[in-house]
Structure 1
Amino acid sequence: MGSRIESEKDIRQKYVWGRIVDTQVKSQNSSHGMYTNKLTETDNGYFWLPGGSNRKQQEAQNAEVWQTLSELPKLTGSELYVSLDREYSQKELNAKFSGLRVEPRWFAVRSGQEWAGIDSYAVTDEEGKAAPAEPEDYLNISVANPIGGDSSVGLDYIPVQGETNEEYLKYHFLSWKTGMIEALKRISQSPEVAESVSAIDFASAAEEVEKNGAKVYGVVVTGRSEELAKLQDEPWMQGAIVRLGDSVLDTRQFDPYIVN
């Protein structure tokens, strides 16, 4: 319904050995936006920035994710949230999926607003004494407000330019950073839109991206579950933290990914 999703009822059924053994129907009568204020509400967050001293603890949970992906039935599509070992340019990271039967769908960009809304964060030592966190300590907690976009965001938000072939190539194929900056600026100009997307300072985020570049630290990848499981063998995935998102029945044909 426009930019909103209307929910009337929530129906859950338990299916055991070919029989429905339990059905629960709950009235919703509520509506919600297409965007959520907290993308990392579940699973203790989907993304971590590179450099944290506790990354090895998070990486230890990767094994369960890879095992689950390998065990899911055929025709199951899943989404994988990957916290990268370092920051990449979008173009550089996008190229790493070339030829694979998976697709990068969303790139988390370093914005300087990763922990916006966290008023206080304390670190407790072995003796139980709490002290205010230092900047490097924040690298050990999941990103509270990840922002980013898909690989076409540069096409959607590029400034209006002439239609010469040179300008077309420049702005339509090399403008992902420019598009990200423009998107953040436009959101910041509409407070009601900004509030519905995330509780961050979009103007400051645009300045950060413009100053330091559209550095990508996380990516959401979709595809057949068994194909996603193969990413474990990719050399550039070493040191990454992976978390599993939704898994659904999906009969689409996943062709090898082509870099635009």
Structure 2
Amino acid sequence: MNAPLHLGIRAHDFGQLPLPQLLSKLQQYQFQHIQFAVRKSFPSSVPRFGALSPGTAAYYRQAFERAGIHIAVLGCYVNITHSEVDQREQALTDFGVHLRLARDFGASLVGTETGSVGQGYTEANFTEEAFLRAVDSVRRMVIEAEQFGVTVGIEAGLNHPLYTAKLTRRLLELIPSPNLQIILDCANLMRPENAERPADVIEEALELLGDRIAVIHLKDFRLEDGQIRIVPAGQGELPFAPILHYMKYQRPHLHGILESTSEPHIADSVQMLNQLYDRL
């Protein structure tokens, strides 16, 4: 008997709801795990990252556990490659707070992307200098993660210093620690120049990253007017069959997390993914 598809969602894709309402939504769609960025979902609980405490973590962990929901990824959205040293150091400090409290949240993986050397899109992100700055930050994060017995999850991002599977593989080779794992989002690997061959991009990513993939984000993309536009899973051009085949036969029970998929699109995306998974 094959393992079922384990689907979750980023909690903040429901917006900023009162906790009982968020729990009800998660149960309505039968999600059993989430990616939880507490400051995005409940900013009043976290006026600043330094305000996070073991009490904050225990409060949310207990609430989710009572509802039968596990925090698969503790999300920490910080810019670890910012060109300003002070801002980069603050980002690393904030990420460190999440590493220290991850076990209190009931999570073993703390995730982020690599950010940007500036504000928003800049071609400076595609330089060797930007990549090596990201490597330096990730190395420091992993050293700290090893001290707490938790794992850093790094995600390649569209137009970020880490934006291809090959660069992600290089990151893993430069930091060969088991406490560094990958959050794979195949839609984030799409660019205008490779958008016509998404199956090749997916195949390369699965081959290069293999068992270092800890979580898979599930969203879609369209190429519109020469630009990549992110859309809910099943509404774009990404072929999900090879991703789900990998999850079903090569990495059974691997967590899949819907991203950039909000109501009213969640039900359709969940149905599409489950039906395709069952047919494989």
TM interval, shorter chain, is under 0.3
Q: Which has the higher strand share?
A: 1
User: Of the two, which has the highest radius of gyration?
Assistant: 1
TM (normalized to structure 1)? Answer: 0.27
Q: Which has the higher helix share?
A: 2
